Amino acid sequence: MKNFISVNDVDNVSKLINDTLEIKKQPLKYRELGKDKTLGLFFFNPSLRTRISTHKAARNLGMDVIVLNADKDNWGLEFEEAAVMNGKKAEHIKEAAAVIGKYFDITGIRSFPTLTEKETDEDDTVIKQFMKYSGKPMISLESATLHPLQSLADMVTIYENWNFNKKPKVVLTWAPHIKPIPHSVANSFSEWANKIECEFVITHPKGLELNSLYTGNAKVVYEQDKALKDADFVYVKNWSLYNDYGKFYNGGYDWMIDKKKLELTNNAKIMHCLPVRRNVELSDYALDSENSIVIKEAENRVFAAQAVLKNILDDLNG
Ligand code: CP
């Protein structure tokens, strides 16, 4: 693997999921693999799980890691071609990324969408320009459109909580929130769920359709109760409007997942990428129930990141 920006960077999704499960059994098995290699992690936005799990994954592989709060510690970055840099932005991405490419063997970037500039967001300008000018392998720590490290951990969590007697019914349900939220987790979950053996259903109020580039052939059901019927996994996530790009959907407050909703399912496991707003997206009952696997999901972020880094290191080491 050269880069990890989307599911399309993965040759064999099932194999990567199984590799992750193998690494989970023996996390320190490859601790010599990353010796003398350095990972740079650049966060333009806050993070708890991605920051710590990717750091830990790299350390388990013997890598050195440097983390930068890129929103605070960096010079302001200019991305425009031929910009006259007489404003606040002190450094162009061309120099910044090229320098970073000299310091690190692998780089990870977290850069959320603006939710106002649709074209820039959809182009994933920040991560793509870092990738272009650094010339080194790049891992997405959540871009403007996708969050593949989260999705790999999600698929691993589904695999290890399923007995494979039949295809599981996996439902991605929109849930309410208090502010506009990026589409990246929902887009990415959709891309990956489309690659595994499952019946994949997306449910949301009318008007909250995601970009069909990512949802592909998923079945969209507008009645949440109907979608939840017989579900084996319920993945809960808010996202803002895509059609009226980045706007807050002020409605759907009865879409919170609670005891009554869960009774419609096939004793479904409950998933969420975290952080979660209790009693807005999911009730206390749902999050505290035995069916909640949100902590296992977060734990699997370490092994997912490790499987991805191992794959890239294998490629670098020839
Ligand atoms: N799920 C996730 O990416 O968590 P953080 O934003 O805390 O990294």
pLDDT tens-place string over residues 22-34: 999 999 999 999 9
pLDDT average, residue stretch 292-314: 98
Q: In one letter, which amino acid is 291?
A: N
Axis-axis angle for helices 148-160, 294-316 (nearest 10): 120
Burial of residue 309 (CB within 10 Å: 0-12, 13-18, 19+) is buried
CB-ligand 1 contact for 274 (6 Å cutoff): yes
State the pLDDT at residue 291.
97
Q: How confident is the model at residue 164, as a pLDDT?
A: 78
Q: Nearest C-alpha to atom 3 of ligand 1 is from which residue?
A: 50
pLDDT tens digits along 71-124? 888 899 999 999 999 999 999 999 999 999 999 999 999 999 999 999 999 999
Architecture of domain 162-292: 3-Layer(aba) Sandwich (3.40)
Query: Omega into 275 within 30° of 0, i.e. cis?
Result: yes
pLDDT at 318: 87
Percent of the chain at pLDDT > 90 equals 97
According to the model, what pLDDT value does residue 157 have? 98
Note the pLDDT tens digit of each residue in 247-283. 999 999 999 999 999 999 999 999 999 999 999 999 9
286 vs 279: CA distance, rounded Å: 9
Question: How far is the centre of ligand 1, averaged over its atoms, from the C-alpha of 273 (Å)?
Answer: 7
Ligand 1 contacts CB of residue 49 (under 6 A):
yes
Which residues on adjacent β-strands are paired with residue 110?
43
Locate CATH 3.40.50.1370 in the chain: 7-146+301-316, 162-292
Average pLDDT of span 128-152: 97
| C-alpha 141 to ligand 1 mean position (Å) | 9
- Cα of 286 vs centre of ligand 1, distance in Å, is 20
Q: What is the 3-state secondary structure (H, E, C) of the chain?
A: CCCECCHHHCCCHHHHHHHHHHHHHCCCCCCCCCCCCEEEEEECCCCCHHHHHHHHHHHHCCCEEEEECHHHHCCCEECCCCCCCCCCCCEEHHHHHHHHHHHCCEEEEECCCCCCCHHHHHHCHHHHHHHHHHCCCEEECCCCCCCHHHHHHHHHHHHHCCCCCCCCEEEEEECCCCCCCCCHHHHHHHHHHCCCCCEEEEECCCCCCCCHHHHCCCEEECCHHHHHCCCCEEEEECCCCCCCCCCCCCCCHHHCECHHHHCCCCCCEEECCCCCCECCCECHHHHHCCCECHHHHHHHHHHHHHHHHHHHHHHHCC
| Ligand 1 mutation pick, 43, 150, 152, 277, max ligand atoms within 8 A of CB | 150
- Whether 265 and 229 have beta carbons less than 8 Å apart is answered as yes
Percent of the chain at pLDDT exceeding 70: 100
Distance from Cα 15 to the centre of ligand 1, integer Å: 24
How remote is the CA of residue 86 from the centroid of ligand 1, in Å? Answer: 35
Beta carbon of 184 within 6 Å of any ligand 1 atom: no
Looking at ligand 1, which atom is closest to the CA of residue 142? Answer: 3
Q: What is the pLDDT of residue 71?
A: 86
- What CATH code would you report for 7-146+301-316? 3.40.50.1370
Compute the distance from residue 275 Cα to the ligand 1 centre, in Å: 7
The pLDDT assigned to 103 comes to 98
Q: Provide the Cα torsion 102, 106, 70, 211; round to 10°.
A: 130
Q: What is the mean pLDDT of residues 288-309?
A: 98
Task: For residues 289-317, give the mean pLDDT.
Answer: 98
Model pLDDT for residues 147-168, shown as the tens digit of each residue? 999 999 999 999 999 987 899 9
